[in-house]
Amino acid sequence: MGCFGESHRVAPYKNSELVLPHLGCEIKRKKVYFVKNSSFPDIMRFVIEFSQHCDITRDFCFSHRCLCFNKVRQGSGDAAPEFCGPLQKRSCRDVVCLLVFVCMLGGTGYGTYLAFYLGDPDRLIYGVDSWGNVCGQRNGRIEGVSRSGEDCSDRRNLFFYDKSIFVNYIPGSHVSVDTVAVCVKSCPTKSQTNVADLQTFFNDTGTSLCWYDIPRDSFFDGNSNGLDKCPNLPIEAQESFLFRCIPKSFNQPFEILTGAINDILNKIDPNFTEKCVSDLQKTWQEICYLSATALGVSMSIVILLRFIAGIVIWLMVLLLGMGSVVGTALCWYHYYELKGDSSQEEERNWLIGSIVATVVMVIVILVLLVMRKRIGLVVQLFKEAGHVVSSVPFLLLLPLWTIICFLGFLALVSYIFLAMESAGQINISNTTGFVSFEKDQPLKIFRWYHLIASVWILQFILACERIVMAGAVAIWYFQRDSGMPVFPILLSIRRLVRYHLGSAAFGSFIITLLVVVNWILGFIHKRVKNSTGSVGDFLMKCLRCCFWCFENAIRFINSNAYIEIAIIGEGFCSSAQRALKIIVSNSLRLAAINSIGDFTLFLGKVGTVAVVAVVGIEILATRSDVIYPWLPISLSCIIAFIIASCLIGVYELCIDTIFICFCEDCERNDGVEKPYYMSTGLLKFVTGAHSAKNIEVKRIHLKTEAT
């Protein structure tokens, strides 16, 4: 079959028809295979003339003597491009947003450099003495400070001479230049009433409470202003809290709270806390076994949801309908039973309740009747998601990598934040010679910059995970019949890194803005509540409620926009617009998915926790040395719920992606000239069972002819 002579013979691609009349064309699947005797100049001449006459874009790849067109337009240019799933030929999207994100990372890097150049996290962790020495480490000398450069490796606690600073002191903050603080090995747990007690404490612990260059025999009772070379006596008994020696009297509020809690717990059982810690130490292996059980059960539920979701969903629908009917019947039964035998008020209450129950029953039954086909779609989507997980099992590992990235980044951010809080320019007091660290304006700004940037990066990680997973599922949906790649996840990662990092940065930036606005509203609400009273408090609550609704709507559109990015390869704004259009046009279907589907997935999580609880009870039933077996079982159940949420969350994303692919398939194809990519099960919800069967027969026939 040729168009421009025998030298340009073209063979039809399988599962498609190719008709190339002169000055016109009809092409499907967008692939043209050339016979072996076609020379390269002939092929290129064919491509040029073919493109000119048929108004086909030059957006193609040429390999293995195969011409692969990505976009096709008929001569008039009015027809929509043929859609064949996730586009192979893409371009970089939202480059400006990616550049802004990179600039943000550069700013974060510069702020981090300043933080570690001017600060040291150990200053907050262990504290700093009055001469700039960090407790718990070997220190460098500060120019102009004679007592700096001390080796405090064995002195990890900070002792203050003036106990009045504890009124406003926060552990982790810098010491005032007017207060003496020294690094000590241990805090004086007993009162020090005289110099002999100081010397005895030094002999017993090797800890000197005087300045570092004061020998034992020279200890003395210092001045009450706390600026002498030895502390003022007597010294109250102290204890270490966050590596700071704090008088026990200043711990009274904390001790009262903990004492009250301990009193309550001790009424249950003496030494309750110690026994709980002991039980956890004894059962850590069982907790690991139960966590592994949760992992296995969650994976089993993910696989079995494909088969049991339909039973669970239709059973819930049946119970909901029957429950509304039975509840209404019971209300009317009680009304007629009390009619004439009770007060008019009670009779009227039962009548009103029965009428309300009847209205609710009618609404529930009507909704179920209207939604029955959409509920069937939810069941089919569960089955399709099960096929995805079976075909691409490595999807279940993606949440693990996301959690690792999350925890690693949070640890890094926390360490940087400590360095930033400890950073400051060295300031030496002219009167005392003591050292303090004062923050300049850039460091104060970078503190907030670092916080907002961290939120953006965390949201960016989530966006990348969603785009990668959605891309892998979309590849399965559109290419399972025409040769799916061996590693669709790697292909999806490649597309993300090469084309869509800017879109992920754009979407995550929008969520970051919402988070920041929420913080600002919370701050304003707190101020208004304290100043204007109940009216301002009520108005702010209304405003925050409206913003909460707006935020959740944007997050929902955002998550679906990521799926559209993975499918059609457009920028974030175009994908979000496309996602919003699909959401609006399929609102009832989405309502069924987000209500019935989400509840079914929640039952899967609860089922995992229930299995772990039962197994834990059986395992610990024979452990007579465990005093409180419910404690490790409860901890295991919490871990089980987290594991189940991660794995079943993959299933939820598969359902969302398949639904978007299904909607795109329905809108872009007609099943006749443009065949559907969906399975036979999904075809029933588009054209009816009879037509779906005919389309599937035609598919099989075309495959047979092609082979």
> Is pLDDT of 568 > 80?
yes
Average pLDDT over all residues of the chain: 78
Determine the pLDDT at residue 664.
86
**What is the predicted pLDDT for the residue at 272?**
67
CA distances from 240 to 261, 337, 470 (A): 21, 71, 52
Residue 705: predicted pLDDT: 53
Please tell me the predicted confidence (pLDDT) of residue 328.
87
The first and second tokens of residue 280, run together, are 């956890």
Token pair 């409470």 is found at 209
Q: Is the pLDDT of residue 77 over 90?
A: no
Q: Residue range 166-193: average pLDDT?
A: 72
Among 30-39, 43-52, 121-130, 244-253, the least confident range: 30-39
DSSP category for residue 243? T
Dist CA 584 CA 596 (whole Å): 19
> What residue type is assigned to position 497 of the chain?
V
Helical (H) or strand (E) element with 246: strand 244-247
pLDDT in tens, 204-218: 888 888 888 888 888
Residues 35-45: tens digit of each pLDDT = 444 555 555 55
The residue assigned the tokens 């009045």 is 164
Phi-psi region of 645 (alpha: psi -120 to 50; beta: other; left: phi over 0): alpha
Alpha-carbon gap, residue 66 to 12, rounded angstroms: 11
Tell which residue, 66, 49, 53, 54, has the closest CA to residue 12.
66
Tens-place pLDDT, residues 82-122: 555 566 677 888 999 999 999 999 999 998 888 888 888 88
Print burial letters for 9-20: b (CB count within 10 Å at least 16), e (below 16): ebebbeeeebeb
pLDDT at 456 over 90: yes
Half-sphere exposure of 5 (CA within 13 A, CB side): 7
State which amino acid sits at residue 22: H
When pLDDT is averaged across residues 173-202 and rounded to a whole number, the result is 80
Q: Nearest Cα to 695, choosing from 666, 675, 681, 665?
A: 675
Least confident of 115-124, 218-227, 464-473, 630-639: 218-227
Residue 359 pLDDT more than 80?
A: yes
Cβ proximity of 210 and 229 under 8 Å:
yes
| Distances, alpha carbon 188 to alpha carbons 76, 207, 222, 329, 375, in Å | 91, 9, 17, 75, 70
Residue 73, pLDDT score: 39
Q: Determine the number of helices (DSSP H) and then strands (DSSP E) in the chain.
A: 19, 12
Residue 348: what pLDDT?
81
The per-residue DSSP string of 527-554 comes to: HHHHHT-HHHHHHHHHHHHHHHHHHHHH
Return the structure tokens found at 361. Answer: 């029953």
Asked if residue 440 has pLDDT above 80, the reply is: no
* Alpha-carbon span 466 to 558, nearest angstrom: 10
Q: CB neighbours of 32 closer than 8 A, spacing ≥ 6?
A: 10, 13, 18, 66, 67, 69
Instruction: Sort 420 into a burial class: Cβ within 10 Å, 0-12 / 13-18 / 19+.
Output: buried
**pLDDT tens readout for residues 484-524:** 777 889 989 999 999 999 999 999 999 999 999 999 998 88
What is the C-alpha separation between 126 and 150, in angstroms, rounded? 15
The three-state (H, E, C) secondary structure of 166-223, written as one string: HHCCCECECCCCCCCEEEECCCCCCCECCHHHHHHHHHHHCCCCCCCCCCHHHCCCCC
pLDDT band of residue 454 (cuts 50, 70, 90) is very high
pLDDT at 369: 84
Mean pLDDT, residues 404-416? 90
Q: Which of 190-199, 231-240, 273-282, 694-703 has the lowest mean pLDDT?
A: 694-703
Q: What is the pLDDT of residue 254?
A: 54
More confident residue, 125 or 697: 125
Lowest model confidence (mean pLDDT) among 42-51, 241-250, 361-370: 42-51
Is pLDDT larger for residue 37 or for residue 535? 535
Out of 153-162, 165-174, 303-312, 559-568, pick the least confident: 165-174
Is 33 in a helix, a strand, or coil? Answer: strand
Kindly compute the dihedral angle of the four CA atoms of residues 160, 165, 167, 171, in this order, to the nearest 10 degrees.
-60
Answer whether residue 52 shows pLDDT above 60: no
Closest CA to 466 of 421, 414, 504: 504
- DSSP secondary-structure letter at 185? S
- Tokens representing residue 466 in the block: 């969603």
- pLDDT value, residue 5: 33
Of 160, 200, 191, 197, which is closest to residue 176 (Cα–Cα)?
160
554 pLDDT higher than 60: yes
Mean pLDDT of 432-456: 85
For residue 242, what are the CA distances in angstroms to 142, 157, 246, 647?
26, 8, 9, 38
**Does the pLDDT value for residue 463 go beyond 90?**
yes
661-686 pLDDT, tens digit each = 888 888 887 766 677 788 778 887 77
308, two tokens: 């049991």
pLDDT surpasses 80 at 616: yes
Contact call for residues 690 and 680 (beta carbons, < 8 A): no
Provide the token pair at 166: 């504890």
Could you tell me the pTM of the whole model?
0.74
CA distance 267 to 401: 44
How confident is the model over 453-481, as a mean pLDDT? Answer: 90
Cα 268 to Cα 265: distance, rounded to the nearest angstrom: 5
Q: Give dist(CA 354, CA 332) in Å, integer.
A: 6
Strands (E), 365-463: 425-428, 435-438
Question: Which one is predicted more confidently, 588 or 94?
Answer: 94
Whether 245 contacts 255, CB under 8 Å: no
Determine the Cα–Cα distance for residues 581 and 294; give it in Å rounded to an integer.
39
**Residue type at 664 in one-letter notation:** E
The band of 10, judged by pLDDT with boundaries at 50, 70 and 90, is very low
pLDDT of res. 687? 55
Residue 604 in this model has a pLDDT that exceeds 50:
yes
More confident residue, 253 or 190: 190
